A and B are shown apart, each in its own frame.
Chain A
Amino acid sequence: MRISNLSIMVLAELKKLWNNKRQLLLLTLGPIILCILLGFVAYDFPKEIDITVLSSGGEETQQLIGEINKSKTFSVSETNSLKDAMESLDKGDTRAVIILSEREDSLESAKVIIDATDSTIRQITYLELRSIFQEHSRDISVELLTDQGIPPQQATQFISQFDLTFKTNAWKDLGFFDSFASAITVLIVLVIPLLGAVTAITSERSKGTIERIFASPFRRSEIIVSKLIAHSIFAIMVVILLIGTLKLVFDITLGNVGLILLITTLVGINAVIFGLLVSSLTYTEMESIFLGIAFMFLFMVLMGYMWPIETMHPVLKYVALLTPYIYGVDAIRHINVLGGGFPDVWLDLVILCGFIVAQGIIATQFLRRGIR
């Protein structure tokens, strides 16, 4: 591989990308707009979830409703008709229906029917309501014990025999968006460079310019490496824009910035080289784009972003480990969320580099000289 050949091709490729001002504008503004949109969508812990309460209006139930109302998570409306409440739930106007039954002025049961259509809301509603009910149940238990002549302090001791505290191992207090920002960075750095590079060779085919490249003294490896370098420069630009926007607009929690840039750059280069691999395997742009989309979806579901490894079929767990992006997500979460350093993520970095080399060699081998 000659450096002079490589620099000529890299320059030509960069010029091609640079001369398309509209594409450049899209590359610059696209990641910024996407980041802002993501930040404002995953903006805050779910608040004011609409729930409907059905009760007979006794003192104890009113007290419980007051406690639910006090929670920032819910916005409560009351009704007397179960039919109306269920209709409203099925229509999506309310996220849960709570039916409180009383017997002899005391709460007998609390039945909660949650909207099944949104899994995030279902989980949050369940967790928050359960916690409110437990708190209320504890208060009643203490009251019952004090009625039996047990001092309140001792009664509390009987009912809450041990403290239960939940903490995380995060190095800083995390906001709602912080929990998702790391994985989102990897997702955008995967998708934009991958689909940007996926037509890099097939567009040369469709325009007929690939024949000229093949007739030139450039080697297959030089063609791949030069396209890799040119597209990687743009991937790095996307990375910087992403991190910059997320930090400046949402003040996300970031660990070692140098390491984050390194990881996201490696993820971006992996995406570019995979895009080139797809491009060298296919003949038309449509084929390239379709294959690119299919792999984008596959990587997206396998990289542990939407679903963790614990939900996967045992075989798929191993398949997930064969994609580079799972290591990218793992490393970046380690740094941003746990404040990890190089000793914690060096193996992930080595694996990401290994994938780049392996994919580069495969792409070079697959780049077909034959033209349809």
Chain B
Amino acid sequence: MKPSHVWMIAQAELKRIRNDKFLLLLLIFGVPILCTAFGFVAYKSPEEIHVAVFTDKSFEDGKTRQLIDEIDRSKSFSITGAYPFDSQEDVIQHLNQGDARAAIILNEGQAGIESIGVYLDARDPSIMQVIYSELPLVFGKYFSDISFEFLTSQGVSPQQAKQIVSPFETTFKTNARQDLKFFDFYASAAMVLIALGIPLLLTVTAITSERSTGTIERIFVSPYKRLEIIASKMIAHSVMMLMIAILTVATLKLVFDVALGNIGLVLLIIMLIGVNGVIFGLLISSITYTEAESVLMGVICFLGFMVLMTYLWPWETMHPAVEYMSYLIPFTYGIQAMRHVNMIGAGFSDVWLNLVILAGFIVIQALIASQVLRRRIA
């Protein structure tokens, strides 16, 4: 492999990208717009989730009203609909129509609330989880107050009553190096997704477009080796990747002030993921014949990587065989490294192995791509 050859083809490729002003404009504005959209969609932990409440008015006492007010006061919930509903059927219908995310049915007796039934809207698993996690806290506090009051009225001393109601203290924390906002939990994965998706899908047609325009014949009759062609295209697209990496990190930091660890490491990880995306795109491009084939295969692989790289679902939800498959793709190591650097404040010594694996994947894929680059023209 001659560096002068690689440099020459890389320069030609870069010129081609630079000359397409519209594409450059799309890249410069597209990436920040995408990052901004990500940030404003995963903007805050769910707030004002609509819940509908039904209670039997005939027994409604001050305490029930107090509980309903507490639900309404909570930042997470907002009581909706014509409270109080006339019947349980009405409140369930309200839920089924999608006007509320949960229906709370308070069954009262002479002594106060006897039971609470919560019906959750099954359509959105993330909202269901928030309700599961937040609503019992509101009920728990209410219930503790009642028990405490009841015990003290029975002659138990306040200290002892407190000990009976809450026999031990529980606290939940994370190992994050700083207080994380809602979007911080997703920002690292969003960076990886953008760093994978854009380069992968942009390079899938790098060689097939040469085929369709007929220029690949010219390259093949030139003295350039297959490896030189692949390496030069990889370098040219990696330059573009660096621009995407900087734009992504800068937008997320400037607009949303996301939690970032060592910036150098973050950029390095994005670069390695992007180069992996580029080389995988070239690999697809070298085994396909038309642009439509390349794009289709690129999309399928992208979606496959997206689900395997522990972005949407963790290893604990995977079938054991698929869990091993997720270790065979570079992006799993990328997302893990990125999350560790940004959220736990990990340094080079903590993620060096992931970086080595990412670099190893680049070398292996480049060798495979150069081997499979077919000289035959479809």
Name the CB-closest residue of B to A60.
B168
Q: Confirm or deny: A45 has a beta carbon within 8 angstroms of a beta carbon on chain B.
A: yes
The proximity string for A residues 150-189 relative to B, scoring 1 for CB distances below 8 Å and 0 otherwise, is: 0000000011011111111110001010011000000110
Whether A119 and B322, one on each chain, are in contact in the complex, defined by CB atoms closer than 8 angstroms, is no
A286 and B202 contact, Cβ closer than 8 Å, known pairs A112-B172, A293-B197: yes
Complex CA distance for A286 and B194, rounded to whole angstroms: 17
The proximity string for B residues 298-326 relative to A, scoring 1 for CB distances below 8 Å and 0 otherwise, is: 11100110011010111011110110001
The proximity string for A residues 235-255 relative to B, scoring 1 for CB distances below 8 Å and 0 otherwise, is: 000000000000000000000
Contacts of A107 in B (CB 8 A): 167-168
Of listed B34, B95, B98, B167, residue having the most chain A CB within 10 A = B167
Contacts of A159 in B (CB 8 A): 147, 164-165
Q: Give the number of residues in A that approach B within 8 Å (Cβ atoms).
A: 119
Q: Confirm or deny: A12 has a beta carbon within 8 angstroms of a beta carbon on chain B.
A: no
Q: Confirm or deny: B146 has a beta carbon within 8 angstroms of a beta carbon on chain A.
A: yes
Complex CA distance for A168 and B33, rounded to whole angstroms: 37
Contacts of A126 in B (CB 8 A): 133, 172
Whether B291 and A162, one on each chain, are in contact in the complex, defined by CB atoms closer than 8 angstroms, is no
B285 to chain A, nearest CB (A): 12
A272 to chain B, nearest CB (A): 13
Q: Which of A47, A170, A192, A206 contacts B212 (CB 8 A)?
A: A206
Whether A113 and B173, one on each chain, are in contact in the complex, defined by CB atoms closer than 8 angstroms, is yes
Contacts of A283 in B (CB 8 A): 22
Complex CA distance for A107 and B313, rounded to whole angstroms: 35
Q: Confirm or deny: A316 has a beta carbon within 8 angstroms of a beta carbon on chain B.
A: yes
A-contacting residues, B218-254, CB 8 Å: none
Contacts of B209 in A (CB 8 A): 206, 285-286
Q: Confirm or deny: B174 has a beta carbon within 8 angstroms of a beta carbon on chain A.
A: yes
The proximity string for B residues 35-79 relative to A, scoring 1 for CB distances below 8 Å and 0 otherwise, is: 001101111111111000000000000000000000000000000
A-contacting residues, B1-39, CB 8 Å: 17, 20, 22-23, 26-27, 30, 33-34, 37-38
Name the CB-closest residue of A to B194.
A297
A-contacting residues, B273-308, CB 8 Å: 288-293, 295-300, 303-304, 307-308
Q: Confirm or deny: A357 has a beta carbon within 8 angstroms of a beta carbon on chain B.
A: no
A41 and B317 contact, Cβ closer than 8 Å, known pairs A34-B304, A109-B171, A199-B295: yes
Q: Confirm or deny: A342 has a beta carbon within 8 angstroms of a beta carbon on chain B.
A: no
Complex CA distance for A259 and B205, rounded to whole angstroms: 37
A169 and B23 contact, Cβ closer than 8 Å, known pairs A23-B293, A203-B291, A290-B30: no
Count of chain A to chain B residue pairs whose CB atoms are closer than 8 Å in the complex: 349
Whether A123 and B212, one on each chain, are in contact in the complex, defined by CB atoms closer than 8 angstroms, is no
Q: Confirm or deny: B170 has a beta carbon within 8 angstroms of a beta carbon on chain A.
A: yes
Q: Confirm or deny: A11 has a beta carbon within 8 angstroms of a beta carbon on chain B.
A: no
Contacts of B205 in A (CB 8 A): 199, 285-286, 289
Q: Confirm or deny: A48 has a beta carbon within 8 angstroms of a beta carbon on chain B.
A: yes
Contacts of B336 in A (CB 8 A): 92, 117
A195 and B212 contact, Cβ closer than 8 Å, known pairs A117-B340, A165-B115, A168-B128: no
Whether B41 and A195, one on each chain, are in contact in the complex, defined by CB atoms closer than 8 angstroms, is no
Q: Which of B20, B198, B290, B340 contacts A287 (CB 8 A)?
A: B20
A207 and B212 contact, Cβ closer than 8 Å, known pairs A113-B175, A290-B26: yes
Q: Which of B82-90, B136-144, B262-270, B365-373 is the interface stretch?
A: B136-144
Q: Which residues of B contact A (CB under 8 A)?
A: 17, 20, 22-23, 26-27, 30, 33-34, 37-38, 40-49, 92, 95-98, 101, 103, 112-130, 132-133, 136, 139-140, 143, 146-147, 150-151, 156, 163-176, 180, 182, 185-186, 193-194, 197-198, 201-202, 204-205, 209, 212-213, 288-293, 295-300, 303-304, 307-308, 310, 312-314, 316-319, 321-322, 326, 336, 339-340, 343-344, 346, 350
Given contacts A162-B116, A315-B40, 5 further A-B contacts (CB under 8 A): A90-B175, A114-B173, A141-B164, A297-B38, A340-B96
